[in-house]
Structure 1
């Protein structure tokens, strides 16, 4: 049962890590669920309450970071709420229309379009679009780091007990 539990956990981790760059996948939640499934299938032999509370806090930090990184990028480059809305819409449309390349081009184009709708000059809208990308990419790096730390903690907790 332990091997099956580990396989399932690792599958959840892989999909969860993909969620760091694909906004439609709730990455940190899937990583946490993989750990919970492992815990259930192994009758919580190696993972306790403190572990799961700490992991839930790390998962929450991923979502706070995601929000703050995007908002920071927009605000740092003097973007408005139009840039934020455009970024969200652009991300979704970008992924649908352009696939993986849409993860980069969608938010940029959406933020620029949002600022143009807000009647900002093109050069200003382009600068804000770049700022949005800077914030998003910074957020992705931080999210990946937190999620990798979550997974390392999991393996440490599992293998240091047995």
Structure 2
């Protein structure tokens, strides 16, 4: 049973790494579930400090994930139309049959949103779209770093208790 839980936990950690770039998946949250599953095995004793601190970091990152792209758009002179465009562009970009659509989508979405807001000011729209893109990249990078840290923590814990986990 421990091996099945270990495999599920590993899949969650990998899913979290993918989710750090794909906006449909909440990367740090999925990685945290992978860490939590690891402690459901009989071989690994519960460490509430690690789980609690990781949960706090996950919650903070989840909130920042919505704030950072919006702040990037606002910093570069964008409006709420650009923010909505960014979010819609993220979703469309995932399903678009374009390479790197999840990167292109937020930029194009913010640009379209800003052009809907003020179709005469192309320079402001382009600047706001660039700010949205920078915010999206910053948010994705932060999520990726956290997920890599959770992956490292996962590997370290499994390494510590490998003889107990793989003894059956």
Deviations 1:87-145 (A, max 9, x none): 11111112222355221111111101111111151121111111111111111111111
Alignment partner of 1:93 is 2:66:
no
Contact 1:66 1:139 in 2 (8 A): yes
Task: Say if 1:100 and 1:23 are closer, same or farther in 2 by CA, change over 3 A.
Answer: farther
RMSD (Å) for aligned C-alpha atoms:
2.0
Alignment partner of 1:3 is 2:7:
no
Alignment partner of 1:159 is 2:164:
no
Deviations 1:12-53 (A, max 9, x none): 11111100111001212211112222222x137333222211
Q: Which residue in 1 is equivalent to 2:138?
A: 138
Q: Which residue in 1 is equivalent to 2:113?
A: 114
* Equivalent position SS for 2:56: helix
Task: Say if 1:143 and 1:125 are closer, same or farther in 2 by CA, change over 3 A.
Answer: same
- Deviation beyond 6 Å, 4+ runs, structure 1: none
How does the TM-score come out when normalised to structure 2? 0.85
Structure 1 Cα separation of the partners of residues 22 and 47 of structure 2: 30
Contact 1:47 1:158 in 2 (8 A): no
Unpaired stretches in structure 1, ≥5 consecutive residues: none
Unpaired stretches in structure 2, ≥5 consecutive residues: 163-168
Contact 1:93 1:106 in 2 (8 A): yes
How does the TM-score come out when normalised to structure 1? 0.88
